Structure 1
Amino acid sequence: MELFSASTMPNRVEILKQKFANSVGLPFEELLPEGSITEVLEAEKVKYRNRLFNPIVTLWAFLSQVLDTDKSLQNAVSRIIAWLAAAGEAIPAADTGGYSKARKRLPEKFLLKLLGKTAQGLEKQTGSEDLWCDRHVKLCDGSTVIMSDTPKNQAEYPQHANQAPGCGFPIAKIVVMFSLATGAALEILIAPFRTGEVTLARQLYPKLTPGDILLADRAFGSYVDLVLVQQYSADAVFRKHQSRKSDFRRGKKLGIGDHIVTWSKPKRRPPGMSKEEFAELPNQVKVREVHLLIRQKGFRPKEIIVVTTLVDAKVYTKAKLAQLYQWRWQVEVDLRHVKTTLGMEMLRGKTPDMVRKEIYVHLMAYNLLRTVMWQAGRKAGVCPVRISLQGTRQHLGHFCPELYKVGAKKRLQLYNTLLTVVTDKLLPERPYRYEPRLKKQRPKPYGWMQQPRDFLKSQKAVA
């Protein structure tokens, strides 16, 4: 590997920082400037030597790697080599070892704090016209991700119990909290697959701020979760759990299919909650139950019951609650974007800490795209939700190489053009969209791996 003097290193670092800031970092100019990154590094007491892949360069390279369809380390290093070569600077070796080690040196807390900064900065840009009844709505849901099959990953995130040893992938449960107004990923928790989704989500409730509204599906519609959300001066809107019956002839009637009833504390302690935590819960809670009839063209009307702590029927009418719950599906779309559009379904990290870092950077990249969509929607006067995230990613990918080549004035013009083109083709309004979960393309006629790969290879060699 070619050696460089200390005098040439700062120049190359500054060139790379400028390239990244003028392309990938441009949408984050207000939310995540270099000064904010430095502040977090100092707060976390991260010390680093004068090297090419310092934390700031590594972060930008990591973000561009995640946004690219080719997520390989080699592709990221190749991009850096091309930039330095174009600037007439000495280029590093094409080996990926230096960049790989630099990613490992990035502390998890550093990435997690930066993720929070990108989300909070975007959330602060919302106005009353972007909120529901002048209140911030947070969406919460869970999913799973798989990762490289290594002993360390298997130890911390074991594969599914029904799979034979050596035939499955380590799997992790994730619970993410999104903003309804901006679509930004606000918080995330990661745990082994066997951890309950709701049990994990309850650790996110302290992240709610007074006045927030948490919107989630029927898995959350229990006494415990309604009470826990209220303890943080927030409100909840959940679909009622299927095991609980409703009788609209009882309680305080607010309208047809709308009443306030008193729920009593369950006798059985839920899984994942300690005896002390369960004992501190109140014995009763007032809950509003609302019967909603969801009409969808071509389908029979669907009846659901929503339970909420929003008991003021004059401010939070039945029609407004029906509209709000229909937006709950947005969290499913957001999770699909992170996993499928950005390719987070299968993570390449060989160790658990690297896997978590990949997840945090994927969510940061997702927030970057949401930032572009928010700015474009503001400029064009359209709802950011109707802007295609995949289209935004494609346009940003094509504009980035041009953004770092031009001067400041031309760069601003290019960026404004980017904001214009991402709103040229808006998504149609599809509140009742339904697509069957079926595959049309037939798979190749290969069987499933039911024995470890090494054993199968050895059997083939013997044969």
Structure 2
Amino acid sequence: MARAGQVKSPAGERLSDRIAIGVLTRAFPPRLVDEVIAEAGRTEQRSRLLPARVVVYFVLAMCLFFGQGYEEVARLLGEGLENERGRRLWRVPTTAAIARARKRLGIEPLTLLFERVCRPVAVPATAGAWYRRWRVVAVDGTTLDVADTAANEAFFGRPGSGRGKGAFPQARVAGLAECGTHAIFATAVGPLASSEQTLSRQLLCRLTAGMLLLADRGFYGFELWQAARATGADLLWRAKKNAALPVLERLPDGSYLSAVFAEADRKRRARPVPVRVIEYTLAPRGDGEVYRLITTILDPDAAPACDLAALYAQRWEIETTFDEIKTHQRGPKLILRSRYPWGVEQEVYGFLLVHHAIRQLMHQTALDHDVDPDRLSFTRSLRIVRRQVPAQAAFSPRPTHPGTHPDPG
């Protein structure tokens, strides 16, 4: 059997080779980039070496080729900017010019582009993305080291312990991801002091009926549970071991019906919210730890307890997703380069947009060849995209206007 990431077609071709296309301009067409620039009010009135459209693509390329200097990234991106006679249309700008252009662009075009493009990508035929009628998604958070500047420390804060303060300030990022495809479709960025629960509230608007949201025990709180439940999505969250969950009715599959209460109603047990509880242990661990899950799916015939216990392991897919970004796309032990909070947030959205584009292409490749997206290697796909972008990222640096010809790509 071929290893993950080396699945082959009948012709012997590695499927991951099929994603080697112009990822930036395919996932983020120039016309769409122009639309979000206009919506953000960043349309420029005079010609520049670095117009807003080019700066958006530069931020994306910067997050694809992380660790490279500004001018090297600009050179890689600009290799595709040639006319039909092979003459360069664009000279590589200086680092200072790029920094000024990023500041002019700001955050909003990237956040708008994320909202327009980043959606769950699985279709009914996508292997591993569904449990029965539910699209399986998960919520989690992570932290990113940012440049050690006074502005970043003041805004984001610095981790500390009994041994002193951490080496770098850190930003906290929360996200919603589709477990089967690793596509992140909602995110929130904030200071380190912001809890994952607090940031996750900003994500709930992206939940819909037909989703099943997985979350670890750090997320449960009555108010957050109710807010997530109100979206129409179903929930499967791990509860803390000291959570008071009275047994109201034993069910044939070994689960039981219970209720949760707001803090003010707990003693009187007023206004109960019904939940179903699944308790189990992981035999190979041998430590006897009891896992306790609560769910909004009250009917055991709709989702048996043994299925939900096995399904909860899919929550680790979002942690793997963050690892893809932090370890492989960004690089281990590297820090975000921006010296100011607005630049940090711009970078975060750049990373998430590039990750989503790669994952979207991996999903399409897997779908075309009827394999699970998990069998394709993100690391190898990332390397292929990096090799191909300079040759295939051709686009005009000029914005589109009504009546002009469509841009290539």
Same fold (TM over 0.5): yes
Which bin holds the TM-score, normalised by the shorter protein? 0.7 to 0.9
Asked whether the 8 Å contact 2:159–2:165 carries over to 1, the reply is no
1:22-37 to 2 correspondences below 5 Å = 23-28=22-27, 32-37=28-33
**1:392 maps to 2:389:** no
Asked whether the 8 Å contact 1:295–1:302 carries over to 2, the reply is no
Which residue of structure 2 lines up, in the alignment, with residue 307 of structure 1? 294
Residues 100-130 of structure 1, C-alpha deviation per residue, up to 9 Å, x if partnerless? 222222231210121122222xx25522654
1:36-51 to 2 correspondences below 5 Å = 36-48=32-44, 49-51=46-48
Name the Cα RMSD after superposition. Answer: 2.9
Which residue of structure 1 lines up, in the alignment, with residue 74 of structure 2? 77
In percent, how many aligned pairs have the same letter?
Answer: 23
Which residue of structure 2 lines up, in the alignment, with residue 263 of structure 1? 260
1:402-413 to 2 correspondences below 5 Å = 402-403=391-392
Distance 2:93 2:113 in 1: 29
**1:198 maps to 2:185:** no
Q: TM-score, normalised by structure 2?
A: 0.80
Which AA in structure 1 matches 2:271?
N
Could you say if the C-alpha distance between residues 114 and 328 of structure 1 is closer, same or farther in structure 2, counting changes exceeding 3 Å?
Answer: same
Note the C-alpha offset of 1:61: 2.3
Residues 193-219 of structure 1, C-alpha deviation per residue, up to 9 Å, x if partnerless? 122221221232233223322111011
Could you say if the C-alpha distance between residues 400 and 200 of structure 1 is closer, same or farther in structure 2, counting changes exceeding 3 Å?
Answer: closer
Distance 1:165 1:314 in 2: 53
Asked whether the 8 Å contact 1:140–1:331 carries over to 2, the reply is yes
Which residue of structure 1 lines up, in the alignment, with residue 8 of structure 2? none
Residues 203-257 of structure 1, C-alpha deviation per residue, up to 9 Å, x if partnerless? 322332233221110112343332221122222110111221556xx31211253
Note the C-alpha offset of 1:71: 3.0
Asked whether the 8 Å contact 1:257–1:290 carries over to 2, the reply is yes
Note the C-alpha offset of 1:402: 4.4
Note the C-alpha offset of 1:262: 1.9
Moved more, 90-99 or 183-192: 90-99
Q: TM-score, normalised by structure 1?
A: 0.72
Which residue of structure 2 lines up, in the alignment, with residue 112 of structure 1? 111
Distance 1:163 1:102 in 2: 41
Note the C-alpha offset of 1:34: 2.0
Q: Which runs of 5+ in 2 are unaligned?
A: 1-19, 395-409
Could you say if the C-alpha distance between residues 45 and 354 of structure 1 is closer, same or farther in structure 2, counting changes exceeding 3 Å?
Answer: same
Distance 1:154 1:376 in 2: 42
Residues 346-386 of structure 1, C-alpha deviation per residue, up to 9 Å, x if partnerless? 11101000000000000001001101211110122111122
Query: Please, which of 343, 346, 359 is the counterpart of residue 330 of structure 2?
Result: 343
Q: Which runs of 5+ in 1 are unaligned?
A: 1-20, 270-281, 406-463
1:228-239 to 2 correspondences below 5 Å = 228-239=227-238
Q: Secondary structure at the match of 2:330?
A: coil
Residues 61-112 of structure 1, C-alpha deviation per residue, up to 9 Å, x if partnerless? 2222211253321211332565558932365365222222222222312101
Which AA in structure 1 matches 2:346?
K
Query: Please, which of 381, 396, 401 is the counterpart of residue 370 of structure 2?
Result: 381
Which residue of structure 2 lines up, in the alignment, with residue 278 of structure 1? none
Note the C-alpha offset of 1:318: 1.5
1:184-223 to 2 correspondences below 5 Å = 184-223=183-222
Asked whether the 8 Å contact 2:134–2:210 carries over to 1, the reply is yes
1:383-462 to 2 correspondences below 5 Å = 383-403=372-392
- The number of equivalent residue pairs is 365
Could you say if the C-alpha distance between residues 71 and 301 of structure 1 is closer, same or farther in structure 2, counting changes exceeding 3 Å?
Answer: farther
Could you say if the C-alpha distance between residues 35 and 163 of structure 1 is closer, same or farther in structure 2, counting changes exceeding 3 Å?
Answer: farther
Which residue of structure 2 lines up, in the alignment, with residue 135 of structure 1? 134
Distance 1:109 1:90 in 2: 28
Distance 2:137 2:197 in 1: 15
Note the C-alpha offset of 1:181: 3.3
